């Protein structure tokens, strides 16, 4: 049985341009944009090894728990030939975390994604089915390839399960995603929330 698990507040560091952009949702900017492991880009291999096997992610949530750690990982990926960005993911209020990063970054709210956050981050919004029942939801996709409201995302998830779509029994989370725009170069040790 599917459990719409609540994703706690956390971060992912994602590719700005995904490796395999899905033609079903080409504007998608949600959390399903991590590089494949092992990396095909030599310069980012060390950072990706640390992301996958190091202590960046919380073992329970599979998200990076603090802005400091996300900023450090993002900085480590800066040697790559590809561009990365920090995403803030949450299902609840984020005011306390915003106050911790507001001197160093601005948040750009993008919308609601539905993904296997505790697993491989696969998103059913990115991989939206091309069948009759899902057409009404495809029209609700915003400029970031996400849903604007929790209610639309929740309705889509319910219909996805009812229609027996692939992996409909997976633990999906409805996640509000914001892009974190780093505005101040900083020593990560001086940012609150270490």
Contact 143, 109 (CB under 8 A): no
How does the average pLDDT of the chain come out, rounded? Answer: 87
pLDDT surpassing 60 at residue 189: no
Q: 2 falls in which pLDDT band (50, 70, 90)?
A: very low
Backbone angles phi, psi at 93, to 5 degrees: -65, 145
Q: What is the mean pLDDT of residues 56-80?
A: 94
Least confident of 6-15, 72-81, 110-119, 125-134: 6-15
| Whole-number Cα distances in Å, 163 to 128, 132, 158, 167, 175 | 13, 11, 9, 11, 22
Q: What is the mean pLDDT of residues 149-156?
A: 96
13 - beta bridge partners? 86
Q: pLDDT by residue (tens digit) across 106-123?
A: 889 999 999 998 889 999
Give pTM, 2 decimals: 0.88
């Amino acid at each position: 049985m599917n459990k719409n698990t609540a994703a706690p507040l956390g971060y992912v560091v994602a590719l700005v341009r995904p490796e395999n952009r899905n033609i079903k949702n080409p504007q998608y900017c949600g959390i399903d944009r991590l590089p494949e492991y092992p990396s095909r880009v030599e310069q980012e291999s060390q950072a990706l090894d640390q992301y996958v096997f190091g202590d960046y992610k919380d073992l329970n949530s599979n998200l990076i728990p603090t802005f400091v750690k996300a900023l450090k990982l993002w900085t480590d990926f800066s040697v790559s030939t590809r561009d990365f960005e920090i995403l803030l993911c949450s299902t609840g209020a984020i005011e306390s975390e915003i106050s911790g990063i507001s001197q160093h970054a601005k948040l750009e709210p993008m919308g609601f994604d539905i993904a296997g956050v505790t697993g491989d981050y696969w998103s059913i919004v990115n991989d939206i089915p091309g069948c009759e029942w899902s057409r009404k939801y495809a029209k609700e996709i915003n400029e970031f390839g996400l849903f604007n409201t929790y209610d639309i995302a929740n309705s889509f998830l319910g219909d996805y399960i009812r229609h027996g779509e692939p992996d409909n029994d997976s633990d999906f989370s409805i996640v509000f995603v914001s892009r974190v725009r780093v505005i101040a170069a900083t020593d990560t040790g001086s940012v609150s929330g270490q």
